[in-house]
């Protein structure tokens, strides 16, 4: 079993301590090959905003760095941990760049075999941090999110205990998901996501040729599975409304 931890902190601090505890619990449960990718140390250049990865295909990204190696590592893993400190109620800049560099996978998901655990640490605003953290690695199966608060005052023994328990529980949930890996039938939310992108792609052969090609061959869902016809019908209606709204949306507050 293989797990990769993508570490978003610019130093080896509290986030590293937490993920090491997850590693220890996983290794207690089974034989686990655990790899750390410290974003502070790898060559993952800043996204330049050319939109080539999303529009034409990620293989055409002009940046020459370690992105493809990192992606291959992730694709070969059973589990992925994304760890970031909360900075100004959001992810760290290093993690934001990671999210941007993998944004193409929100258009064309590919991480279907990976169980995903989100780990945010800091003082406040960690729900928002995790919500940003979840905006990457399209197709991965999010099994849980940890929010570990470091208080500015001395933590009580009771609090420390609860933190340790939550960390162990998250590791166990990740482990079970990796062990019982299967491509699940889609939720309503995922069907809506699929149908919105499929509709957008069908209208965007010129501007989003990579999406157009990806969705052209996929009829019911990202992968072949049983799709509940009622959920599918509801998703279709919501997707139609969503795309129609997008076409005319101008908002000013």
Ligand X SMILES: Cc1cc2nc3c(=O)[nH]c(=O)nc-3n(C[C@H](O)[C@H](O)[C@H](O)COP(=O)(O)O)c2cc1C
**Is residue 125 near ligand X by the rule CB under 6 A?**
yes
Q: Kindly report the backbone phi and psi dihedral angles of residue 223, in degrees, each rounded to the nearest multiple of 5, phi listed first.
A: -135, 165
Q: Kindly report the backbone phi and psi dihedral angles of residue 115, in degrees, each rounded to the nearest multiple of 5, phi listed first.
A: -90, 135
**Which span sits near ligand X by CB under 6 A: 28-36, 117-125, 183-191, 208-216?**
117-125
* Residue of closest CB approach to ligand X: 13
Selected binder of ligand X within 34, 87, 102, 222 (CB under 6 A): 87
Q: How far is the CB of 41 from ligand X (least distance, A)?
A: 14
Of 2 and 128, nearer to ligand X (C-beta) is: 128
**Is residue 122 near ligand X by the rule CB under 6 A?**
yes
**Is residue 167 near ligand X by the rule CB under 6 A?**
no
Selected binder of ligand X within 97, 131, 150, 204 (CB under 6 A): 150
The 8-class DSSP code of residue 184 comes to: P
**Is residue 144 near ligand X by the rule CB under 6 A?**
no
Collapsing DSSP to helix, strand or coil, 145 comes out as strand
Of 9 and 136, nearer to ligand X (C-beta) is: 9
Task: Give the sign of the dihedral formed by CA 87, CA 172, CA 177, CA 38.
Answer: positive
Window 170-199: residues binding ligand X (CB under 6 A): none
The 8-class DSSP code of residue 225 comes to: -
168 to each of 1, 27, 86, 163, 220, how far by Cα in Å? 18, 11, 21, 9, 37
Selected binder of ligand X within 59, 124, 160, 224 (CB under 6 A): 124
Closest of 154, 180, 148, 153 to residue 166, by C-alpha: 148
**Is residue 63 near ligand X by the rule CB under 6 A?**
no
**Is residue 88 near ligand X by the rule CB under 6 A?**
yes
**Helix or strand holding residue 6 (H, E):** strand 2-7
How many residues are present in the chain? 253
Instruction: List contacts with ligand X (CB under 6 A).
Output: 9, 11, 13-15, 85-89, 121-125, 150
């Amino acid at each position: 079993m293989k797990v990769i931890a993508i570490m978003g902190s610019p130093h080896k601090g509290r986030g590293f301590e937490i993920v090491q505890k997850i590693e220890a619990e996983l290794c207690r449960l089974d034989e686990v090959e655990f790899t750390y990718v410290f974003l502070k140390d790898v060559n993952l250049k800043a996204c330049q905003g050319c939109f080539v990865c999303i529009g034409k295909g990620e293989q055409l990204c002009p940046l020459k760095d370690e992105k493809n190696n990192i992606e291959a590592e992730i694709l070969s893993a059973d589990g992925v941990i994304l760890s970031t400190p909360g900075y100004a109620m959001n992810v760290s800049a290093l993690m934001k760049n990671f999210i941007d560099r993998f944004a193409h996978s929100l258009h064309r998901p590919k991480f279907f075999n990976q169980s995903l655990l989100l780990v945010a640490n800091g003082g406040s605003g960690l729900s928002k941090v995790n919500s940003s953290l979840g905006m990457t690695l399209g197709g991965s199966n999010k099994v849980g999110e940890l929010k570990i608060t470091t208080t500015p005052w001395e933590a009580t023994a009771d609090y420390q205990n609860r933190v340790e328990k939550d960390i162990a529980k998250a590791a166990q949930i990740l482990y079970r998901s990796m062990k019982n890996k299967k491509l699940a039938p889609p939720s309503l939310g995922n069907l809506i996501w699929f149908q919105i992108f499929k509709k957008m792609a069908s209208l965007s052969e010129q501007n989003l040729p990579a999406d157009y090609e990806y969705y052209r061959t996929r009829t019911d869902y990202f992968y072949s599975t049983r799709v509940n016809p009622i959920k599918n019908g509801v998703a279709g209606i919501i997707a139609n409304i969503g795309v129609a709204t997008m076409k005319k949306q101008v908002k000013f507050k």
